[in-house]
Amino acid sequence: MNDDSAKPLIAMIGAGNMSRAIIGGLIARGHPAERLAAADPDAETRDAAAREFGVATHAENQRAVAGADIVVLAVKPQVIDRVTESIASALRGDCVVVSVAAGVPVSRLRARLGDATAVARVMPNTPALHGAGAAGMFAAGCSQAQQRAVRTLFEAVGKVFEIEDEALMDAVTAVSGSGPAYFFALAEALAEAGQAAGLNRETAEGLAAQTATGAGVMLGAGDAPAAELRRRVTSPGGTTAAALAALERNDFAGIVHAAVDAAVERGRELGGPAATGDPRGDS
């Protein structure tokens, strides 16, 4: 018989999209709902999380973090300072605080939580809801046991990549944190192009979605890098070669680089001076 009490008590501050992805993924993989809690200032958001997942929800951050082994700060960077200040006195001494807020450095978090608090930064993404997330983790200031606990938490909803230099977390945010939106935008454009070529909407969207899924499976198999997979499906003089040539003429790679650069820069901006916001959190 499984001992649910042996599972860590995890508190989510913020019950928006990212928290719901993590909570849903954890529960789907056997983490008991009674070992999860969430705080959010919005009553409708709290009620939705309670109905969907059966977790305890709170309006006040302090109540959610009481007794927690791991606290995940799933709030916007603009309110992270007020949120950390609101929970500092309520944390257990051996609690690990994990921030998923883009751009906010560990030093800024510790300035409000206390230098003795174990703090990690993780940048997950929303495919965590389906157990297919990608997360970059920086936890250099945590003990090995604490690092394992954080890794285990996010491995329940996807793959975790350890980042040794905190300065690279903005790049992680730009590649994988924001990355799903890039693929969605490509699928959207591909479906629209299919409709322009004569396909009906349902067929075009279905083909684009399934093609994206299949390509992802091939990449995830790890048999070959993306460049090699692209070469394998590109016959000289064929339709794929013609399509890729059109992408190159329009600087497809340059557009992607510009998008990533913009996300990196925005992450750095978000890690700057504090902004005002609701001290109970946001998502």
Inside any domain, residue 273: no
Whole-number pLDDT of residue 4: 66
Inside any domain, residue 247: yes
pLDDT above 50 for 277: no
Instruction: Write out pLDDT tens, residues 18-52.
Output: 898 889 888 988 999 999 999 999 999 999 999 99
Instruction: Write out pLDDT tens, residues 153-202.
Output: 999 889 999 999 999 999 999 999 999 999 999 999 999 999 999 999 99
Task: Write down which residue in 152, 173, 194 finishes a domain.
Answer: 173
Question: Domain limits at 153?
Answer: 6-173
Structural domain total, the chain: 2
Residues 41 and 93 in one domain: yes
Task: Write down which residue in 122, 142, 173 finishes a domain.
Answer: 173
Residues 76 and 47 in one domain: yes
Tell me if 36 sits within 8 A of 55, measured CB to CB: yes
Inside any domain, residue 1: no
Instruction: Write out pLDDT tens, residues 225-243.
Output: 999 999 999 999 999 999 9
Residues 136 and 18 in one domain: yes
Inside any domain, residue 283: no
Any idea what the CATH number is for the domain that residue 204 is in? 1.10.3730.10
Residues 221 and 122 in one domain: no
Inside any domain, residue 275: no
